[in-house]
C-alpha cells in the first residue's frame, strides 16, 4: 500500500509536494487549487501501464481514464524546460513482500519496512518526446536514495553481451549512496566474511593453475607460494626460455594483488571501490517508466579478471543487490497501480432496464456503469450492500429483477435494479427516487467488493444528504479493516464526512494514524499541500487554513 506520494512540477504544484497517504486520505481545498491533480497524476501512471500499446511509451496523458493533453499542458506553468517527477513510498507488508527479497537482506541484519521509487521525466523539444531522466531507489525512511539509475545511451551498448530490444529503456547505476544505513549494517555484519571469502577465491584460482600437484601443505603458506611462482615465471620470461609463461605470470600477479588487497587492512573505503566496479555492470530493463527485469551482463566477457574475482568473492557474502531491490520496489508499485480503482465525480444516470454485458470486471468503472452487472452476478455482494443501505437508514432494499424470454421461458439478458420501500412495500425504479442513491451506490459496491486495493474517489458527497455523507465515513472506516483492507484517497468538500471520522477517532474505532487530512492551498508560487494532523480525541493539532468550515458561522454573524 502507498504510504507517501510526492509530486514535482505537475500542473498547479511546483513541488516537491509530499503527501502522507494513510488508509483514509482526504484532500480538501478551494476550487481550482489542485486537489484533483493529485488523483490525476496517479491515474496518469495507471493509464500508461494499462493502455499504452507501445512498451516504449513513458507516459500516456490521453486515455480512457484521464485526458491531460500533452506534456506542455500538464507540466507546471506549461514550461517544458522543467522536469516532472513523482515519488512513491510503499509499505512492505508480509503478503506484499516480493519473493525476490529472499537473501538480499537477512532478518537479523535489517528490517525493510518501506521501499520507494522516484522517477523523473524531461521533455526533448527537438523530437517532441517525453524522456526518461532518472530513477531513484529509496529504502525505509531515509531522505536520500540508496542508489540512482540513469538511462544507458544506446550507442554505448555492447550488443554481443546483452541483446537490446528497440523498445526497451536500459538503466545503469549512476550513483550509489554508501552512507545509507543499509550499507553500514551490511558492512558491520559481513566484513569478516569478505576477507575469508577472498582467501578461498585465491586458493581456488591458484589451484586451477595446477602448479602444486605434488606440493603438500601449500594452502598454509599461500603468500610464499605465490611469490615463489611469480619470481619463477619472471626468470623464465627474462631468459626467453618459455614465452607462454606470460599468461601464468599475469594470473599469479592478479592473485597476489587480490591477496594483498583483501588480507591487509581491507576497509569499507576499499570495499566501496570494488563494489562500485562490480555493481556498475548490472543493468535494468524498463517497460514504460518501471523496471521489469535484470539483464545480467556476462562478466566473463564484459570485465577483466579483477572484476570476475570481485564477483566471485561478493557473491557469497550476501551482497546488497540493489538492482534486485529496485525490481522488488517496481513490482510492488506496478501491482499497486494495476489494482488501483478510480471513481469519478459524475456517476452514471440510472436506467429502468439493463442488458447484461457479459463483462466479468470486478470494477464499477470511473462512472459506475458496471454496478448493475456486478450486482446481477454477485447475490452475496447484493446482500452486503443491502446491509449497508440499512445502516445508512435509507429505508429501501435493493433487488435485481430478472426477466424471462416469453418464447423460450429462459432468463433473458435483460434485468432491472429495483428499490423496495421497507415501509410500504412499494417496488420502484432507481429513476423514481432521489438521484443521491444512484450516485452513492458505485462507491458502496466498489468499497465492499475490493480487497487490498487503493480506491481514488472524487467528490463522493455529490447529490447526497449531509447525514448520508457522514455515514460514508463509517463505511470507509469499515472497509479499511480486515478482511477488506482497502485504502482510500478522496478529493472532497464534505464537512460531514470529516466530522464522522473525527467522531470515530474519539470513540476509539479509528486511530489518528488511519486518517490523513490534506489541505491544498494555492498561492502566487503555485499550490502547496498542508498536512493537518489529528490527535487521539479527533481534534486538529494543526490550524485549518481560514478556520474549519467557518462559512456558515461567517454567514450568520458577519
Question: Distance (Å, rounded) from C-alpha 276 to C-alpha 270?
Answer: 10
pLDDT in the model for residue 317: 66
The answer to the question of residue 471 being in a domain is no
The answer to the question of residue 52 being in a domain is yes
Average pLDDT score over residue span 67-72: 97
**Which DSSP category does 164 fall into?**
-
Beta strands 2-8 and 84-91 are antiparallel
Which of 425, 449, 473 represents a domain boundary (last residue)?
Answer: 449
The C-alpha cell that represents 497 in the structure block:
464526512
Give the end-to-end CA distance of the chain in Å, rounded to a whole number: 45
* Same domain membership, residue 354 and residue 437: yes
Helix or strand (DSSP H, E) at 309:
helix 305-315
The answer to the question of residue 133 being in a domain is yes
* Same domain membership, residue 156 and residue 213: no
* Same domain membership, residue 198 and residue 173: no
Question: Distance (Å, rounded) from C-alpha 157 to C-alpha 318?
Answer: 29
Inter-residue contact 44 to 510 (CB < 8 Å): no
| Cβ count within 10 A of residue 86 | 21
Question: Distance (Å, rounded) from C-alpha 63 to C-alpha 307?
Answer: 47
- Percent of the chain exceeding pLDDT 70 equals 86
| Cβ count within 10 A of residue 299 | 16
pLDDT at 107 over 50: no
Question: Distance (Å, rounded) from C-alpha 76 to C-alpha 17?
Answer: 13
Average pLDDT score over residue span 316-324: 71
In the three-class reduction of DSSP (H, G, I as helix; E, B as strand; rest coil), residue 92 is classed as: coil
Beta strands 411-421 and 169-176 are unpaired
pLDDT in the model for residue 161: 42
In whole angstroms, how large is the CA radius of gyration of the chain?
31
Confidence of residue 108 (pLDDT cuts 50, 70, 90): very low
* Same domain membership, residue 203 and residue 167: no
Question: Distance (Å, rounded) from C-alpha 88 to C-alpha 333?
Answer: 8
pLDDT in the model for residue 98: 55
pLDDT in the model for residue 281: 74
Q: CA–CA distance from 49 to each of 66, 86, 133, 207, 465 (Å)?
A: 13, 15, 18, 52, 37
Inter-residue contact 177 to 146 (CB < 8 Å): yes
Inter-residue contact 21 to 487 (CB < 8 Å): yes
Residue 402 has φ and ψ, to the nearest 5°, of -90, 155
Q: What angle do CA 331, 334, 340 make, to 5 degrees?
A: 140
Question: Distance (Å, rounded) from C-alpha 190 to C-alpha 105?
Answer: 12
pLDDT at 100 over 80: no
Which of 158, 181, 204 represents a domain boundary (last residue)?
Answer: 181
* Same domain membership, residue 14 and residue 75: yes
Is the backbone of residue 15 left (phi > 0), alpha (psi -120 to 50) or beta? left
Question: Distance (Å, rounded) from C-alpha 430 to C-alpha 350?
Answer: 6
* Same domain membership, residue 173 and residue 41: yes
The answer to the question of residue 340 being in a domain is no
pLDDT in the model for residue 103: 47
The strand pairing partners of 341, in sequence order, are: 455
**Comparing 191 with 397, which gets the higher pLDDT?**
397
**Comparing 318 with 163, which gets the higher pLDDT?**
318
Judged on CB neighbours under 10 Å (0-12, 13-18, 19+), 99 is: exposed
Residue 187 has φ and ψ, to the nearest 5°, of -65, -40
pLDDT at 215 over 90: no
Write down the residue that cell numbers 550476501 correspond to.
Answer: 318
Q: CA–CA distance from 505 to each of 500, 511, 515, 517 (Å)?
A: 9, 6, 9, 13
The C-alpha cell that represents 234 in the structure block:
619472471
The answer to the question of residue 213 being in a domain is yes
* Same domain membership, residue 48 and residue 117: yes
* Same domain membership, residue 307 and residue 220: yes
The answer to the question of residue 406 being in a domain is yes
Average pLDDT score over residue span 214-223: 64
Parent domain of 48: 2-21+28-181
The C-alpha cell that represents 376 in the structure block:
446481477
pLDDT at 250 over 60: yes
Question: Distance (Å, rounded) from C-alpha 190 to C-alpha 168?
Answer: 36
The answer to the question of residue 334 being in a domain is no
pLDDT in the model for residue 549: 64
pLDDT at 154 over 70: no
Mean pLDDT, the chain, whole residue set: 86
* Same domain membership, residue 425 and residue 398: yes
Domain count, the chain: 3
Which of 146, 181, 216 represents a domain boundary (last residue)?
Answer: 181
Write down the residue that cell numbers 557473491 correspond to.
Answer: 315
Question: Distance (Å, rounded) from C-alpha 411 to C-alpha 404?
Answer: 4
Average pLDDT score over residue span 429-456: 94
| Cβ count within 10 A of residue 541 | 9
* Same domain membership, residue 120 and residue 52: yes
Length of the chain: 558
The predicted-structure confidence for 6-57, as pLDDT tens digits, reads as follows: 999 999 999 899 999 999 999 999 998 999 999 999 999 999 999 988 888 9
Residue 124 has φ and ψ, to the nearest 5°, of -90, 105
Question: Distance (Å, rounded) from C-alpha 528 to C-alpha 19?
Answer: 10
C-alpha closest to that of 202 among 260, 248, 249: 260
The answer to the question of residue 219 being in a domain is yes
* Same domain membership, residue 408 and residue 358: yes
* Same domain membership, residue 177 and residue 213: no
Amino acid at each position: 500500500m502507498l504510504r507517501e506520494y510526492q509530486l514535482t512540477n505537475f500542473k498547479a504544484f511546483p513541488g516537491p509536494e509530499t503527501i502522507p497517504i494513510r488508509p483514509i486520505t482526504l484532500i480538501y481545498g478551494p476550487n481550482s487549487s489542485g486537489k484533483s491533480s493529485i488523483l490525476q497524476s496517479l491515474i496518469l501512471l495507471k493509464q500508461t501501464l494499462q493502455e499504452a500499446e507501445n512498451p516504449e511509451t513513458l507516459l500516456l496523458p490521453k486515455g480512457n481514464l484521464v485526458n491531460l493533453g500533452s506534456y506542455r499542458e500538464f507540466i507546471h506553468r506549461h514550461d517544458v524546460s522543467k522536469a516532472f517527477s513523482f515519488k512513491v513510498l510503499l509499505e512492505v507488508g508480509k503478503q506484499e513482500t516480493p519473493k525476490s527479497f529472499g537473501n538480499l537482506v537477512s532478518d537479523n541484519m535489517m528490517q525493510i519496512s518501506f521501499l520507494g521509487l522516484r522517477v523523473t521525466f524531461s521533455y526533448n523539444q527537438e523530437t517532441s518526446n517525453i524522456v526518461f531522466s532518472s530513477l531513484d531507489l529509496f529504502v525505509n525512511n531515509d531522505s536520500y536514495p540508496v542508489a540512482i539509475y540513469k538511462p544507458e545511451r544506446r550507442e554505448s551498448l555492447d550488443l554481443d553481451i546483452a541483446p537490446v530490444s528497440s523498445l526497451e529503456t536500459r538503466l545503469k547505476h549512476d550513483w550509489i549512496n554508501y552512507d545509507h544505513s543499509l550499507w553500514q549494517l551490511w558492512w558491520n555484519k559481513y566484513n569478516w566474511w569478505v576477507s575469508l571469502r577472498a582467501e578461498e577465491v585465491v586458493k581456488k584460482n591458484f589451484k586451477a593453475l595446477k602448479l602444486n600437484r605434488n606440493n603438500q601443505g601449500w594452502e598454509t603458506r599461500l603468500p610464499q607460494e605465490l611469490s615463489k611462482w611469480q619470481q619463477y615465471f619472471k626468470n623464465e620470461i627474462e631468459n626467453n626460455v618459455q614465452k607462454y609463461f606470460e599468461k601464468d605470470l599475469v594470473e599469479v600477479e592478479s592473485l597476489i594483488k587480490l591477496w594483498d588487497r583483501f588480507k591487509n587492512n581491507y576497509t569499507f573505503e576499499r570495499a566501496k571501490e570494488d563494489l562500485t566496479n562490480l555493481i556498475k555492470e548490472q543493468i535494468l530493463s524498463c517497460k514504460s517508466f518501471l523496471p521489469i527485469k535484470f539483464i545480467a551482463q556476462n562478466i566473463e566477457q564484459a570485465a577483466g579478471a579483477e572484476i570476475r574475482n570481485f564477483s566471485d568473492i561478493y557473491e557469497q557474502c550476501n551482497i546488497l543487490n540493489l538492482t534486485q531491490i529496485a525490481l522488488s520496489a517496481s513490482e510492488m508499485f506496478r501491482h499497486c497501480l494495476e489494482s488501483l480503482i478510480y471513481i469519478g465525480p459524475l456517476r452514471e444516470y440510472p436506467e429502468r432496464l439493463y442488458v447484461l454485458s457479459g463483462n466479468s470486471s470486478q470494477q464499477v468503472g470511473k462512472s459506475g456503469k458496471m454496478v448493475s452487472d456486478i450486482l446481477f452476478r454477485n447475490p452475496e455482494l447484493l446482500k452486503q450492500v443491502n446491509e449497508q443501505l440499512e445502516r445508512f437508514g435509507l429505508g429501501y432494499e435493493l433487488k435485481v429483477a430478472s426477466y424471462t424470454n416469453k418464447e423460450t421461458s429462459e432468463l433473458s439478458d435483460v434485468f432491472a435494479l429495483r428499490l423496495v420501500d421497507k415501509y410500504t412495500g412499494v417496488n420502484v425504479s432507481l429513476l423514481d427516487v432521489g438521484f443521491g442513491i444512484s450516485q452513492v451506490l458505485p462507491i458502496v459496491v466498489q468499497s465492499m467488493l475490493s480487497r487490498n486495493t487503493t480506491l481514488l474517489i472524487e467528490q463522493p458527497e455529490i447529490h447526497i444528504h449531509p447525514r448520508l455523507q457522514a455515514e460514508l465515513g463509517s463505511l470507509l472506516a469499515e472497509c479499511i479493516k480486515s478482511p477488506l483492507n482497502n485504502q482510500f484517497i478522496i478529493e472532497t468538500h464534505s464537512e460531514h464526512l470529516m466530522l464522522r471520522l473525527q467522531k470515530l477517532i474519539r470513540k476509539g474505532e479509528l486511530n489518528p494514524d488511519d486518517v490523513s487530512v490534506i489541505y491544498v492551498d494555492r498561492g502566487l508560487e503555485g499550490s502547496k499541500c498542508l498536512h493537518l494532523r489529528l490527535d487521539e480525541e479527533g481534534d486538529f493539532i494543526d490550524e485549518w487554513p481560514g478556520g474549519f468550515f467557518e462559512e456558515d458561522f461567517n454567514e450568520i454573524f458577519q
